[in-house]
Amino acid sequence: MTTLPTQAELAALALETARRCGVDTDALAGDVTTTSPINGLPVTSLAWQGAAEVDAAVARAQEAFLAWRRVPAPGRGALVKRFGELLAEHRDDLATLVSIEAGKITSEARGEIQEMIDICDFAVGLSRQLYGRTMPSERPGHRLMETWHPLGVVGVVSAFNFPAAVWSWNTAVALVCGDPVVWKPSELTPLTSLACHAVLQRAIAEQGAPAGLSQVLLGGPEAGEALVGHPGVALLSATGSTRMGRAVGPRVAERFGRSLLELGGNNAAVVAPSADLDLTVRGIVFSAAGTAGQRCTTMRRVIAHRSVADELTDRLASAYDRLPIGNPMAAGTLVGPLVNRRAYDAMTSAVEQALADGGTLVAGGGRALADLAPEAYYARPAIVRLEKQSDVVTRETFAPLLYVLPYDDFREAIDLNNAVPQGLSSSVFTSDVAEAELFLSAEGSDCGIVNVNIGTSGAEIGGAFGGEKETGGGRESGSDAWRAYMRRATNTVNFSGELPLAQGVDFTV
């Protein structure tokens, strides 16, 4: 039988866990109450910070930057190495806080903390690989090259669904690039944020680095708006909705700052006639129902060849019927709660609209566990079968709602994949090499992440993460995403003793 922790049990666990991570929980009293999606009840009360605190934080970060940029990159990597070691020590504690505040099942919460450890490993190696190029000069006795330098203060605005990992993607890379970070986390996950910050502050103290390298600001829209508009923030990395991005992007551009925007996703999998359906079903179910559908990379559309659409739909419906829904901290649970009532209402509205557009509900839908937790919102992951991609399908619904659509021709499937405003993640399930290569080509998926025979979610830190179109166009994490956190200088060195001009220009006086 499913049971949920009481308010007192969950609040006590959250505070004790945060304390073990180094948070001064005795100083947390405030007038803003946060709740847990597990039972919908209060966890703690905190004080919110506003624009004045943002100004002070950016000033402290700028002071730290002036010292930190002089530290050789491998020395900066030593701090990140220690941070990764401390994250490993507190892996279970941080995962517990992620579960309490974001509602993630235990294995996914631990996976998020492992992702933090992994990006630290990546960044440590990166600290010795911040390469510039040497290019041939057209002028004799000259050397042409580029160098990369620390950029400045990095502001991070993160969302509830990855309350720790997204911050770490930015922070680990920013620190080895020579930049301090000011973090405005989601209002829904403050204890997770404070605990992550405390762990990094311990590493900073142990390494003798400037304390202002890492700061966290708990606050509402006022704090976020102040950080976005602050002229002292060289790079603003924001994760959230496309609506948020429309406000953030122009504000940063207006002051000639840089921005990394990780916004909405409306991700699809194309399922070809040659697909291994056993593998396909497993890949779809995790991508669509994992994290209760609350990932930006969640699969929201399945575009299946008409010859396999019926069988695939039946298999998915059967798998959905077996998904254990309940306390995300309990063993065996695969689907935890939605973050709040607004998320559940949005899912309900989207299902109703899809049915009005001619769709058929083939699995799930509706609320679960309402008798156990009337203030929490557990939803049964839903599948709606449609004959065409209606307007509701082109909108992102941040919940476990999956649409199944048929196709006849592979290029038609590609067109359906691309016929949404978002462009984050996509996948194709096929055994046909030509189809796989076409999907990966310039004529194929227009997304930033394009997979073959795996789902749309679960990206590794080694690759650059991000999307196109209304997803924002930013790239974080691996590959060469580090370049966003540095400034490039092109250098010409003349050792010839002469002064020839480029392009053969003659300016002899």
Catalytic residue among 115, 187, 225, 262: 262
Q: Where are the beta strands (DSSP E) in 364-508?
A: 367-368, 378-379, 382-385, 401-407, 422-423, 425-429, 449-452, 464-465, 468-469, 476-477, 486-494
Please list, in sequence order, all residues whose beta carbon lies within 8 angstroms of the beta carbon of residue 428, skipping any fewer than 6 positions away: 269, 270, 271, 272, 435, 436, 439, 445, 451, 452, 453
d(CA 474, CA 297): 15
CB 159 within 8 A of CB 293: no
CA atoms within 13 A on the CB side of 196: 32
Report which of 404, 359, 402, 354 is spatially closest to residue 382, judged by C-alpha positions.
Answer: 402
d(CA 486, CA 482): 7
9 is catalytic: no
Report which of 499, 503, 483 is spatially closest to residue 132, judged by C-alpha positions.
Answer: 483
d(CA 351, CA 316): 17
CB 407 within 8 A of CB 439: no
Task: Give the C-alpha distances (Å, rounded to integers) separating 460 from 315, 465, 477.
Answer: 28, 9, 9
Structure tokens at 241: 């909705």
Alpha-carbon torsion, ordered 227, 249, 478, 453, to 10 deg: 130
Q: Where are the beta strands (DSSP E) in 425-475?
A: 425-429, 449-452, 464-465, 468-469
Report which of 295, 282, 271 is spatially closest to residue 403, judged by C-alpha positions.
Answer: 271
CB 300 within 8 A of CB 267: yes
DSSP string, 249-301: HHHHHHTT-EEEEE----EEEEE-TT--HHHHHHHHHHHHHGGGG-STT-EEE
Please list, in sequence order, all residues whose beta carbon lies within 8 angstroms of the beta carbon of residue 365, skipping any fewer than 6 positions away: 351, 379, 380, 382
d(CA 150, CA 169): 17
- Which residues are designated catalytic? 262
